[in-house]
Amino acid sequence: MEKSRREQAELMKMQIERRQQEGAGSDGETESKKRRHPEGERDDESLEQERIRAKVEQLRKVQALRIQQQAEAALNSTAAMASRESTNSASSSGTTALSAEDQAYRKAYQLAKEHINSQQNFTSPLTSQATGTSQPRVQYALPDQPPDLDVRVRMIFEEDLTTMIFPLVKQFVFRVARDTPFEVAAKAIAKKNGHQELWQNYSFSVFQKEGEAGSMEDEGPTTKQVQVDNLTRTFGRYVKDQHGGTTIAGASLHSELICFYKITTPFKSPFTTPSFAKQAVQ
């Protein structure tokens, strides 16, 4: 009886152990199946892909920032170079800032220079009307930069009892370089007045201040009218500098010079003409 009970107990124990082993084996298979499950594999791949995408996006941002910094550096370098070139050009021309009037003058000079150069480059030679022979075309060497018009002249017509020819322009303002002779002004004014052939009959006078303000001898500077008896003299000869001297170098730009001009023509009495004398004899 006891033997049969012991055998049954051992049999039940063996069955329980077998069931436990089978349960453990089934759990292991379940875990392995879970590890090999397609859904689990997709989750791991998606995580890896997300990490790769994040890394690529970070690299793209770093590359874009680097390209932007290089572009900004190139732009800054170009701007600095352009600024240096403009500064050197302005300093070489003698001015750091050009007014609208100066810019228009320089532009007109460049256009005139291009026109003259294009005319000079024309290969056909000139033909003399007197001899009928070909002559070489005259070449003019023009400077790259125009001369500085640093003297502002206020030209006023001066009328007196001897005036016989009245001009069309009685007062105007223009600018010239200091080394410009009065002969050029006479030709230009005569052309404006419509009688270019009478430029040799023009005479000029300028007002100059003499003495210095606050001196012991004089109460202040006095004004004196100076006749320009030689048309080859330049405007710079009569421009005062800051110390009252007549010098070309060191004077301020756009110094104003008040100048008067006359048209002096010899008076011819009608009573002295040959025709009148012949009529008087008859």
| DSSP-assigned letters across all residues of 192-256 | HTT-GGGGGGEEEEEEEEES-TT-SS-SS-EEEEEEE--TTSBGGGG-B-TTS-B-STTPPTTEE
Dihedrals φ, ψ of 239, to 5°?
A: -90, 130
pLDDT of residue 147: 82
Helices (H) and strands (E) in the chain, counts: 5, 7
pLDDT of residue 198: 87
Segment 179-202, tens digit of pLDDT: 999 999 999 999 998 888 889 989
pLDDT of residue 218: 53
Task: Name the token pair of 149.
Answer: 């018009």
pLDDT, average across residues 264-269: 66
pLDDT of residue 215: 45
Residue 117 identity: N
pLDDT, average across residues 115-128: 61
How does the average pLDDT of the chain come out, rounded? 72
Segment 68-104, tens digit of pLDDT: 888 777 777 776 776 666 556 555 555 456 778 788 8
pLDDT, average across residues 36-63: 76
Between strands 222-228 and 202-210, the pairing is: antiparallel
pLDDT of residue 244: 45
Task: Name the token pair of 124.
Answer: 């056909």
Segment 126-139, tens digit of pLDDT: 555 555 555 555 56
Which residues in 127-138 are b (16+ Cβ under 10 Å) and which e?
A: eeeeeeeeeeee
Q: What percent of the chain has pLDDT over 70?
A: 60
Residue predicted with more confidence, 133 or 157: 157
Which residues in 202-234 are b (16+ Cβ under 10 Å) and which e?
A: bbbbbebeeeeeeeeeeeebeeeeeebeebeeb
Please tell me whether residue 43 adopts helix, strand or coil conformation.
helix
Instruction: Please tell me the distance from the alpha carbon of residue 85 to that of residue 90, in angstroms, as a whole number.
Output: 9
Contact 93, 105 (CB under 8 A): no
